[in-house]
A and B are shown apart, each in its own frame.
Chain A
């Protein structure tokens, strides 16, 4: 965590939703410590064959842009306007009604008017109007046009890396204008002149090379998984066999790499392993496709495709029938809305059928990839697993819908069904903060860095505040979620704003409640804490 942390009360007090009278047309941005991310490591920028690899930081006066940077950006924008209908349409039809204004967690937590989604988009739209519309070319500023200058670029960097692509604004927009789409494309443009952040570039480079964001090499990956299996053995007394890179397995399982490296993700991993062992699933992990997450999706459609390609390629190489995916948010945005288009068709796979229940997952008949919550809720519904809810009695649970499963999939009831079948105490947060209206953790889309701590806490305020509400009302002490970024960034957020609330995955709850054949009497939960 950064050293000079601003105190929660102090931070909240200064939030003001009334903008000043200056207006927004003159670009201005100040890079203060705590509210921006460091630049991409040039070695990794270079490794990914991205342009203009160099040493620079946002706080530098000179960003060392290529000489023809303006030309590159405008040409890049022109090109994207012909390839993405969304972009062209979203540039043309916004009426600035302001419905989105107070829907963005960064606006709610900062009061910075340029964090109103409409204004975030206007930062690009003003340049579009100036250079691509007749009115803008003739009337300039009067038509809302802005000259593209280095200061505009700096402003883009600041505000488009202050959007977590959560798409909450797009729920409220009467035309469905999706800021995530605009953010991804502006980040693509910035990439063209070598502007990017390390928390994205380095994981992408790692994932490209080693298969996962953390850069864990195959032997390290196997060690982590084996270690988890041993840990599970000490809890359950059962020897757990975990197949890796096993050809001919029925199912390839892909999870975000944080699951086998981060805490509290790790307990979810134990949950998966326990479940798969108990039902005797014929599956395999892959060290090559050891990452479900896709940081490429945060900055470029091409990088998203590059990283995502491994999943189908590995499924084909291993000769599996279908693919099962773990708990992760943006991973599922990619798998649900992009994978088949980018790297399909998956005609070498079969329509997923649960080997335990015989349920055919018709909703995945083209992509052939099933969400673990779909899989597990089907098991529970068919009474294929025995669950002892009381083993989760230490928890009073609430559920944070992760942005992408909620708004890009509609995966809403499945996780709730699992929670209700594994826990005795479940309490929903207020209606306007869950399901399709869920609030982001504030650290998604590559913004979860230490150096960006203050902005993360600001962006996470709405989520934290809703948790605080159920904590005070019902004594909630467990925030369940199905996203690896959530699991990494909600704990510090809870510590900052709420206190006394643990964060964990849904399959951690499953693993706790799961009654396994031949297991010893459990004395601790998957965290090693004594059972209540």
Chain B
């Protein structure tokens, strides 16, 4: 049901884009939508990050995954249990760049006996890291369409990406990896009964959306080739705030662009917020130094307490009989 709904939603979006192309609404699809999407994306991210940042972190709650800093002769784990800011930066970098926690993943198996085992299971990590890094590289590669002259780092990325020198145009390895990773993530969600059980429409929708973006992109590059000069004209115009839509770009491009616009518009309203969110996660971005340095809670409100005086008042006779010292005789 959730799968079907998400699939239909994406097909519906594609139909809209096709109709839009047919109705010669290039101005709407080529200029208004991209601007609106980028604006929504930026404002949405800023709004959410500010929303999170304004909420206090009342308590110091890192989840520690290594030896603490205590006695000088016990080797502490600076990365997994950092007690300095530098260590936290390192821990976060490993988390964000290499998905450290996901790398830890295990698969629990129960055999007769009962006998439990926890084998290493890196598939999810591999799928996720290939997906995210390919996505980033593909995104950066697109700058050759947005900028003139093309920045040298973009050319460098593209050269490395096409190092296999297969086909013409040269097959970019990230295109292949990206597609495989996406399909893996989708099939995992559908085939793994537990992941299917927890999946919502909001989990399938971005996958179908990104798959469609990838497919239209690949079609344009390798099969149904589009006029890149004209696309670049449009893109450079957009970024220079002199937007104009050249004639005859082709509907495939508008489908691709419309889906991208949908994705970035959808971003700040969805789980895709995990991208900015990870930076603020209090179990990861706090140092394991809560006994070294006091963490302040801005709303540390008073609570009901039972002071010693009241305690002694209640138990004075018994304490006296037991020979315990008293504050008031």
Instruction: Give A residues with C-beta under 8 Å from B.
Output: 12, 15, 17-19, 23-24, 48-49, 81-86, 88-89, 92-99, 101-103, 108, 113, 116, 118-119, 122, 133-135, 142-144, 167, 170-178, 181, 208-211, 217-219, 222-223, 244-247, 287-288, 301-303, 305-306, 309-310, 313-314, 317, 336-338, 340-342, 344-345, 359, 361-367, 369, 374, 377-378, 381, 406-414, 417, 430, 432-433, 436-437, 461-462, 465-466
Contacts and interface: CB of A to CB of B under 8 A. Distances in A.
Contact of B81 (A178, A211, A410, A462): A410
A466 B118 CA distance: 11
B328 interface: no
Contact of B292 (A217, A246, A314, A365): A365
B315 interface: yes
Given A89-B280, A118-B198, A83 B299 contact: yes
A410 B297 contact: no
A176 to B, nearest CB: 4
Contact of B280 (A85, A222, A340, A433): A85
20 contacts: A23-B197, A93-B278, A101-B194, A142-B5, A143-B201, A172-B106, A174-B101, A174-B274, A178-B63, A302-B304, A336-B290, A337-B59, A341-B294, A345-B294, A359-B71, A363-B83, A364-B292, A410-B64, A411-B68, A465-B116
B286 to A, nearest CB: 9
A23 B270 CA distance: 21
Interface in B257-312: 269-271, 273-274, 277-278, 280-284, 288-297, 299-301, 303-308, 311-312
Given A342-B300, A414-B70, A88 B51 contact: yes
Contacts of A218: 315, 318-319, 322, 324
A98 B195 contact: yes
B290 A367 contact: yes
Scoring B62, B105, B115, B198 by chain A CB atoms within 10 A of each residue's CB, the highest score goes to B198
B25 to A, nearest CB: 26
Given A86-B61, A365-B291, 20 more contacts: A92-B277, A96-B195, A96-B199, A96-B271, A102-B106, A116-B194, A134-B269, A143-B202, A172-B102, A176-B95, A211-B311, A217-B318, A218-B315, A288-B311, A341-B294, A341-B295, A362-B292, A365-B292, A410-B76, A413-B67
Contacts of B99: 174
How big is the B interface, by class? 35 or more
A186 B289 CA distance: 27
Given A93-B271, A93-B278, A96-B199, A85 B55 contact: yes
A302 B74 CA distance: 35
Contact of B324 (A95, A209, A219, A313): A219
Contact of B195 (A101, A362, A406): A101
Nearest to B284: A176
B277 A175 contact: yes
Contacts of B290: 336-337, 340-341, 367
Tell me whether chain B's interface is mostly helix, strand or loop, or mixed. loop
B40 interface: no
A17 B110 contact: yes
Contacts, number: 315
A91 to B, nearest CB: 10
Contacts of A181: 61, 283
B152 interface: no
Given A95-B274, A174-B102, A436-B66, A287 B201 contact: no
Interface string B162-204: 0000000000000000000000000000001111011111110
Interface string B48-91: 10011001111111111111111101111100110100000000
B176 to A, nearest CB: 23
Contacts of B293: 366
B297 A342 contact: yes
B321 interface: yes
A462 B116 contact: yes
B114 interface: yes
A434 B103 CA distance: 17
A379 to B, nearest CB: 11
Nearest to A497: B114
A85 B306 contact: no
Contacts of A208: 306
A144 B200 contact: yes
B101 A176 contact: yes
B274 to A, nearest CB: 4
Interface in B124-162: 124, 128
B305 A432 contact: no
A433 B63 contact: no
B107 interface: yes
B113 to A, nearest CB: 8
A374 to B, nearest CB: 5
A436 B14 CA distance: 47
Contacts of A178: 61, 63, 283
B64 A436 contact: yes
B104 interface: yes
B55 to A, nearest CB: 4
B325 interface: yes
A163 to B, nearest CB: 15
A24 B196 CA distance: 11
A363 B68 contact: yes
A94 to B, nearest CB: 7
Contact of A363 (B274, B278, B291): B291
A340 B59 CA distance: 10
A313 B307 contact: yes
Contacts of B308: 288, 310, 313-314, 317
A433 B118 contact: yes
Contacts of B299: 83
A344 B59 CA distance: 13
Question: Top 6 closest A-B pairs, CB basis?
Answer: A410-B68, A176-B283, A93-B277, A12-B114, A219-B322, A432-B118
B277 to A, nearest CB: 4
Nearest to B322: A219
Contacts of B116: 108, 461-462, 465-466
B101 to A, nearest CB: 5
A506 B283 CA distance: 29
A226 to B, nearest CB: 9
Contact of A116 (B60, B110, B198): B198
B70 A374 contact: yes
Contact of A341 (B59, B102, B106, B292): B59
A100 to B, nearest CB: 10
